[in-house]
Structure 1
Amino acid sequence: MPLPLVSAVLAAGLVLSLTLAVTIGPVDLSMRTVWQIAFAKLTGTSGNWTGAQENIVWMLRFPRVLLAAVVGGGLAAVGVAMQAVVRNPLADPYVLGISSGASVGAVLVLGTGAFGFFGIYAVSAGAFAGAVASFTLVFLIAVAGGQLSPLRLVLAGMACGYSLSGLTSLIVLTSENRELARNAMEWMLGSLGGASWSDLGLPSAVLLVGTLWLSLSGRALNALLVGDDTARTLGIDVGRLRVTLFIVLSLLTGVMVAVSGAIGFVGLVIPHVVRMLVGTDHRRVLPVSVLIGAIFLVWVDVVARMAFAPIELPVGVITALLGGPFFVWMLVAQRWKSRDAA
């Protein structure tokens, strides 16, 4: 199926998913009411609905489902590119320890009140600062021996990730704040609750620019996945490309984690699903992964807030419950496929 047609179908599916997700909640809303309110807010007109319905649609549900789409698309795009950069099918957006650094920053804010001048965005600011610090540390360790190789990247990311996770646990266990453990756990498992329109600007811009750049680099990613020697024969500066990709992917991951917490399995599972559907060419895989990742996380968030209502689960709990068994099934299916082919 041609890529434009696939993208158009998935884009329509994303719009439908966003609309249905906004209608689902303790207060039932029709799809017509949802889009009437959205159109009225965008054009400055008014209509026949209550003020409560308008607040629910425009101030509560729309920002949340849109943020879910942005974060899901961003994590899926990073997962696709990360697996090519480190040539490891088990790589995900957090393999470089970025989420561990973000967790340290978020927990410091939750426990000490640091970054208080950011107000309600203090936790996100602290998480992003931690992510940037972790990214810088991993980069310095990985390039200490000269060339930035996939193995050095993974090893540096794992070392920093484990160390920063230990630091997070130390802060939580030694804090006098009795609520810190619960708040830290909820953040580290990922949550989209409390999303507002102001949370969407930076992640959306980063997703748009980052995905566009990665899509234009699709040919280079294809070459990297085959091997550095092959990429060099095609005229690609492998060292420079890997450094640039590392920076772009780290910033993408840092921004997404800062606004949503560490939501796992999206960047690991979605790229494999997409490759099963459209092949391995990154020029096709990247845009399709963004759309499927967005749709996936929108519906995961619906399950997280409705499955045990009025209790709201962290989104990461649902992605783990769904992603783990699915990934195992996919590995078993590929094994049987390889056996049949033999």
Structure 2
Amino acid sequence: MKRRLALLSLLSAAVALAAVAGVAFGATPLPLSRILELLFSSEARSANPTDAWIVLNLRLCRVVAAGLAGAALSVAGAVLQALLRNPLAEPYVLGVSAGASVGAAAVVAFGFTAALGGLALPTAAFLGALASTALVYALARSGGRIPGPTLLLSGVVVASVLGSLVSVLLFLSGGQNRMEAVILWTMGGFSEVDWARVAVTVVPILVCAVVMWALGRDLNLLAFGEDPARFLGADVEPLKVTALIATALLTACAVAMGGVIGFVGLMAPHAARRLVGPDHRILIPSTALLGAVLLILGDLLGRSVHPPLEIPVGLITALFGGPFFLVVLRGQFRRSGS
């Protein structure tokens, strides 16, 4: 236990260091002393409004959004891997992210953000994610139960259909600017995020993460299979429903802030499991912290390679996540004897 707590402390320190780096570095590097002065001194902010805007409304907002999105995707991935007993599972596999993307892309493509205000994007992402989750749940449910393999296959089918809908929205967007906005959205990134989106999404992310942490014991029991988990006292079907709703909300929040960002929900849980073991009561906070670090650093890398141009963070995570997926898949083949 002491070792695990020490690792949690180290991961927390890593998040803090990544956040400092994310605020300090960019097209205009700022020393730590200057950042602290701008954060805590109203006089310094009044005397240097440009630097204050860069630190507070650009970099700090991006760092917080990236950290929250990384934590949300990572917790969702860890929960789905436990739910399906499949190490390749992540939010995108079940169509959760695709549903959130359809809702958000519709808002961007038809210009509803200007008409409906800052809540339009996260609300549309929430509704899309919940609708896709409900559809997957309805397709997979059989005889009062939700078999894991059927749930996985239903998710793949729904994700494919919804991915096509995003492409249709791209062509119906009715203007080059909107088309470019949808394309950038599908690549993932935090260049357009603001404090309003962060404020809307932070509470659902924290609540869902805490709920999944509280259900950590039941998630542990699922590793033995659904029937043994029932025998050991887990209420499996309500657990599945709760987990699906939580992963939908977590993924919707991440999509609302940063667009489509893949593989974080795959990489962070695997890395955290290597560090702290399979106990979800420790794994969930660990994977949240590690996911936050990965996405903060990924966003920093994307905007630091060739400033002022930015590489979308979704491309950065895909660049590293694709090979990681193949490594995990190869390990699965070896264990199965294929």
User: Which TM-score applies when normalising by structure 2?
Assistant: 0.91
The aligned residue for residue 273 of structure 1 is: 271
Structure 2 CA distance for aligned equivalents of residues 2 and 331 of structure 1: 29
Which one of 222, 225, 230 corresponds to residue 223 of structure 2?
225
1:123-149 deviation line (CA, Å, top 9, x unaligned): 333333322222222222222553122
User: In the TM superposition, what are the counterparts of 1:242-253 in structure 2 within 5 Å?
Assistant: 242-253=240-251
Structure 2 CA distance for aligned equivalents of residues 23 and 59 of structure 1: 13
Q: CA deviation at 1:36?
A: 2.2
Q: CA deviation at 1:202?
A: 2.9
Identify if the C-alpha distance between structure 1 residues 27 and 115 changes in structure 2 by more than 3 Å, giving closer, same or farther. Answer: closer
Q: CA deviation at 1:305?
A: 1.0
The aligned residue for residue 11 of structure 1 is: 12
Q: Is 1:259 paired with 2:260?
A: no
1:225-244 deviation line (CA, Å, top 9, x unaligned): 22012111111111111111
Q: CA deviation at 1:119?
A: 2.4
Give the % identical residues.
37
1:271-317 deviation line (CA, Å, top 9, x unaligned): 11111122111122111111111111111001111112221121100
Structure 2 CA distance for aligned equivalents of residues 282 and 249 of structure 1: 15
Structure 1 CA distance for aligned equivalents of residues 148 and 333 of structure 2: 26
- Unpaired runs of at least 5, structure 2: none
Q: CA deviation at 1:179?
A: 3.8
Higher alpha-carbon deviation: 228-237 or 165-174:
165-174
Structure 2 CA distance for aligned equivalents of residues 78 and 27 of structure 1: 35
1:251-282 deviation line (CA, Å, top 9, x unaligned): 11112212211100100111111111221111
1:55-74 deviation line (CA, Å, top 9, x unaligned): 11111111111111111111
The aligned residue for residue 104 of structure 1 is: 102
Counterpart secondary structure, 2:281 = helix
Identify if the C-alpha distance between structure 1 residues 126 and 212 changes in structure 2 by more than 3 Å, giving closer, same or farther. Answer: closer
The aligned residue for residue 55 of structure 1 is: 53
Question: CA contact under 8 A between 2:122 and 2:201: conserved in structure 1?
Answer: no
The aligned residue for residue 148 of structure 2 is: 150
User: In the TM superposition, what are the counterparts of 1:186-197 in structure 2 within 5 Å?
Assistant: 186-197=184-195
The aligned residue for residue 3 of structure 2 is: 2
Higher alpha-carbon deviation: 22-31 or 110-119:
110-119
Question: CA contact under 8 A between 1:60 and 1:194: conserved in structure 2?
Answer: no
Q: CA deviation at 1:177?
A: 2.4
Which one of 159, 162, 170 corresponds to residue 160 of structure 2?
162
Counterpart secondary structure, 1:192 = coil
The aligned residue for residue 137 of structure 1 is: 135
Counterpart secondary structure, 1:131 = helix
Q: How many residues in Structure 1 have an aligned counterpart in Structure 2?
A: 336
User: In the TM superposition, what are the counterparts of 1:183-332 in structure 2 within 5 Å?
Assistant: 183-329=181-327
Aligned letter for 1:8?
S
Identify if the C-alpha distance between structure 1 residues 183 and 117 changes in structure 2 by more than 3 Å, giving closer, same or farther. Answer: closer
Structure 2 CA distance for aligned equivalents of residues 329 and 240 of structure 1: 33
Structure 2 CA distance for aligned equivalents of residues 39 and 124 of structure 1: 30
Q: Is 1:24 paired with 2:20?
A: no
The aligned residue for residue 113 of structure 1 is: 111
User: Which TM-score applies when normalising by structure 1?
Assistant: 0.90
Which one of 68, 71, 80 corresponds to residue 70 of structure 1?
68
Question: CA contact under 8 A between 1:115 and 1:125: conserved in structure 2?
Answer: no
Q: CA deviation at 1:189?
A: 1.7
Aligned letter for 1:188?
T
Higher alpha-carbon deviation: 198-207 or 110-119:
110-119
Higher alpha-carbon deviation: 28-37 or 323-332:
323-332
Structure 2 CA distance for aligned equivalents of residues 127 and 162 of structure 1: 17
Structure 1 CA distance for aligned equivalents of residues 220 and 319 of structure 2: 31
Question: CA contact under 8 A between 2:263 and 2:321: conserved in structure 1?
Answer: yes
Higher alpha-carbon deviation: 109-118 or 133-142:
109-118
Q: CA deviation at 1:102?
A: 2.0
Question: CA contact under 8 A between 1:17 and 1:299: conserved in structure 2?
Answer: yes
